[in-house]
Structure 1
Amino acid sequence: MHLFADITAHGLGHLAISAPVLNALAEIAPELRLTVRSRLPLAKLRERIAPPFTLIEAASDFGYVMHDALRVDREASAAAYRAAHADWPARVAAEAEFLRSLAPHAVLSNVAYLPLAGARQAGIPTLAICSLNWADLFAHHFPGEPWAPPIHAQILAAYRDADAFLRLTPGMPMHDLARVEPIAPIAARGTRHDLGFGAGRKILIALGGFDHRLPVDDWPRLPATRWLVPASWQCRHPDAVAFDDHGLSFTDLLASVDAVITKPGYGSFAEAACCGTPVLYLRRDDWPEQDCLIDWLEQHGRCREIAADRLRRGDIVRDLETLLALPAPPCPQPDGALQAARRILATVQGGSAANGGRQLTANTR
């Protein structure tokens, strides 16, 4: 079984979704041959994807051009979309030829639409998986623009032609898409480790793979509190340490802290809920996916919004204390990975039967 998986590099959340699915698929289909296309660093991919894979270092989408982790660069994104769709039929034809040369049994996209369009033209079964899609975000960011409707129509057509869109829980409604199939949450669950800081509070600051440096250097010192920050920040605060130095996976790190400061994003919210880690979040005002994520986390985890100006000043004592005092609900079960893996296998087996090929075998559990 040969699967081609396209993973967008728009942050790290798409990898956090895709990797558990690919890992589950490798368990139920041991003969899996996996090709991954992504611009994410190989080390990040290997950290999460367990089975061997061949990497094609390329990007078939860009999602949105960002000023930083919280703000979309609308003008640059508009220019990028117009350039990407300047000769859309030729791009789709080239993608179809590329996929024919790879000859996968199926294409799984999270959540680029070009591989879906190309695979459909090449006659290869296709599945999309995500909590969002670029068509809905495009409609949100560019309403009323005279150049936008033809591009939006091409994006929608690519998603609608997929054999199924596996919409995660939580996820956007996706009313404009056909063949939407809701599935359970997907999240890797980490193991708690002693980080060596004693009984004080350990607060992780992680903003989803985007360069968005908080001014932690200027924050006041809080009693018995350690800030775990990216090493790239080169933070000089006496209570800040680089979380990269602990040698733990991100999910193990997330399971080992008392709270995380982050932005609304599927990977960070779902993994925090499934690890039982409280979340202090900074709202993203121009990202429509955040509403369903926040609503879900309020029901299934512990979370609290913090104002941007207070976070910049490090004025978060009351927010942290309120957050940590919240009662802990039962952690949700991330059953979506196995559901998605079984759906992929069924799609491949259906395609093999339709083409007169042999049926693939799988370990069932």
Structure 2
Amino acid sequence: MLIYACISSHGFGHGSRTASVLAELAALRPDWRLVLSTALPDTFLTLAFGSVAYERRPHRWDVGMVQANALEVDPGATVQALARLDRELDARIAEEVAWLQRQGEPLLVLGDVPPPAARIAAALGAPLAWLASFGWDAIYEPFGGALAQRAQACRELYSQGDLLLHCPLSLPMPWGLPEQELGLTCSRPRLDPTLLAAQLGLPAERERCVLISFGGLGLDLDPSLPARWPDHVFLGSDAALAAVPNGRLLPPDVRPLDVMPLVGRLITKAGYSSFCEAFSQGVGIHLVERHGFAEAPVLEQALRDHGSHRLLRRDQLQTGDWELDQPLLPARLGPIRDDGASVAARSLAALAES
């Protein structure tokens, strides 16, 4: 069986989520062949998948939203990028359909969540599953104009699937598909926390350790800001952390998830996979406000409901007023079960074998 996973290149969160599910699937069906079709960088994929064997087809299938920076999107640039993608899609789909036909294996297509995955599956008569907490239809529609037209086209493709693996913390996905509700979909830390703490020179008090993570674009952190909190140690991938006494730059082979058992709090933007990982590891989230992206208010409400937290304005982030001396606010409703990746893997196996 060949699992052909079309993974969004919009950000690392889609790749992290798919990696967690495919790792569980590989454990269930170790003889199955995993093919990742994505423009995500090899360095990220290698780190996300760890020891799980996969092949890669380096194709971009969607644009998502073009980001002006870690917290802002650019609708105009998004429309232009979508037009460029349109000019390439027909040839790219034909190439992949021909390649998959040559493999001569039973096939299941998994989309997280590029709409063209539906065209590939339809051309091959293959079953199609979506792994999603939103589709680009829900993201594009609020912008109106050309992006609202795109939303309708996306929705039509999403409705062609056989199964929606419905992630938590989600936007509406009215695609008319059979659904499997999931809990948190995330991997597990892989490294020995005692050895990692010694390697990074971390204090024993977890509450003094703070992870800063703003996705693939990073934050461009002002190196003077951690100095406002001399009793804390800050970890992350921002190069500025290497230049401050209480900063720790994560080694290239260490994921943010791997250090979460050692930190008490995470400063971040609204992001599905970051939330899943922090929830699963009991890390409090200091959430920086984000505007212009439909997922952000949904995730903010989910954080209020299911995670310990504090909410920060943009100006607080920029001035270092990070409220690390304040108690975390408790979840209103309580935790979400964390078996989403294993449930999704079992559902994919059942669909493929049916």
TM-score range, shorter chain: 0.7 to 0.9
Q: Which residue of 1 aligns with 2:263?
A: 257
Give, in angstroms, the shift of residue 104 of structure 1. 5.2
Structure 2 distance, partners of 1:8, 1:237, is 35
Quote the Cα distance in structure 2 between the aligned partners of 1:248 and 1:112. Answer: 28
**Residue of structure 1 in register with 2:221 after alignment:** 214
Equivalent residue for 2:123? 121
Deviation track 1:235-288 (CA, whole Å, cap 9, x = no partner) reads: 53332221227x533212122112111111011011101100011011211111
- Aligned match of 2:325: 321
Specify the alignment match of 1:274 in structure 2. Answer: 280
Partner in structure 2 of residue 358 of structure 1: none
Quote the residue 2:296 is aligned against: 290
2:341 and 2:52 mapped to 1: Cα distance?
15
Aligned partner of 1:197 among 195, 202, 207: 202
Please name the residue that 1:59 is paired with.
Answer: 60
Structure 1 Cα separation of the partners of residues 333 and 152 of structure 2: 42
1:225 paired residue among 212, 232, 241: 232
1:131 pairs, out of 130, 133, 136, with 133
Does residue 8 of structure 1 match 2:8? Answer: yes
Q: CA deviation at 1:234?
A: 6.0
Structure 1 equivalent of residue 35 of structure 2: 35
Q: CA deviation at 1:307?
A: 1.1
Partner secondary structure for residue 46 of structure 1: helix
Q: What runs of 5+ residues in structure 1 fail to find an aligned partner?
A: 351-365
Distance 1:335 1:90 in 2: 39
- Paired residue total: 344
Query: Secondary structure of the residue that 2:243 maps to in structure 1?
Result: coil
- Structure 2: which 5+ residue stretches go unaligned? none
Distance of aligned partners of 1:88 and 1:31 in 2 relative to their CA distance in 1, 3 Å threshold:
closer
Q: Secondary structure at the match of 1:244?
A: coil
Q: CA RMSD in A?
A: 2.6
Residue pair 1:218, 1:237 contacting (<8 A) in 2 also: no
Deviates more, 1:61-70 or 1:190-199: 190-199
Residue 343 of structure 1 deviates from its aligned partner by: 1.4
Contact 2:309 2:329 (C-alpha < 8 Å) held by counterparts: no
What residue number does 2:75 align with? 74
AA aligned to 1:136 is A
Superimposed CA distance per residue, residues 190-241 of structure 1 (whole angstroms, 9 cap, x where no aligned partner): 3644353324511111112223312133454324211113253465333222
What letter is aligned with 2:307? G
Q: Judge which range, 160-169 or 199-208, deviates more.
A: 199-208
Tell me the distance in 2 between the aligned counterparts of 1:326 and 1:135: 33
What amino acid sits opposite 1:80 in the alignment?
A
TM-score by length of 2: 0.88
Q: TM-score, normalised by structure 1?
A: 0.85
d(CA) in 1 for partners of 2:300, 2:151: 27
For structure 1, which segment, 76-85 or 182-191, has the greater mean C-alpha deviation from structure 2 after superposition?
Answer: 182-191
Structure 1 counterpart SS, 2:120 = helix
Asked whether the equivalents of residues 287 and 312 of structure 2 are also in contact (C-alpha less than 8 Å), the reply is yes
Task: Report SS of the residue matched to 1:166.
Answer: strand
CA apart distance, 1:138: 1.4
